[in-house]
Amino acid sequence: MSKEPPKLRLASSQADNDVKRQRAGQELRWPLKELAANMMRIVRGAGRPEDVGHQCAAVLAAYQAYREATERFPPPEVISEALTLPHREVPGGDRLRQDIEDADEMVVDGSLQIAASRLLDQMTQVAAGREEMRRGVREGNDARAAHMAEFERKRVGVIKRPKRKEK
């Protein structure tokens, strides 16, 4: 009698296809992220331009592996999932801090829009990115001011001031 646990087998070919698709999508995500991150760094004057060719080859290999596993190229949602920056939730449900975080994300989104549009000389899109970035700065400043005012209200409320003597 064997002491190894029995190996699980999937009952349907649909389940097999789902597993292959999931695995192929996971194997595509990291090379895409590496390439995109390096390209963004290169655009801002840093990054490793010498790695772009190898990173492109890794992305193409992952695309080909996806196609071999699923008999089609990755759908747009797989690519978007890999490259979309996740929305950051502030722990504890602090509304003021969440407003600051949201404003910071707006600045990042606007900045990315500006950089991408400048690469392609799309001045209308550059202007839209600037507006988004500036709106994020304004909203961030407003949220920070509200956060400081709330902090000050709490701080002053904690300090007990001596009562004045009545005459």
Does domain 91-158 fall under CATH 1.20.58? My reply is yes
Residue 8: pLDDT over 50: no
Domains of the chain, by residue range, sit at: 14-83, 91-158
CA atoms within 13 A on the CB side of 153: 6
Count CB atoms within 10 A of the CB of residue 136: 20
CA distance 50 to 48: 5
Paired tokens of 73 = 């190229």
Tokens of 117: 């549009």
Least confident of 29-33, 43-47, 82-86, 151-155: 151-155
> Could you tell me if 29 and 59 are in contact, meaning their C-beta atoms sit under 8 angstroms apart?
no
Q: What is the pLDDT of residues 85-137, one digit of tens each?
A: 988 898 888 888 899 999 999 999 999 999 999 999 999 999 999 999 999 99
Q: Give the pTM.
A: 0.74
pLDDT tens digits for range 123-141: 999 999 999 999 999 999 9
Q: What is the DSSP letter of 86?
A: P
Are the CB atoms for 38 and 15 separated by under 8 Å? no
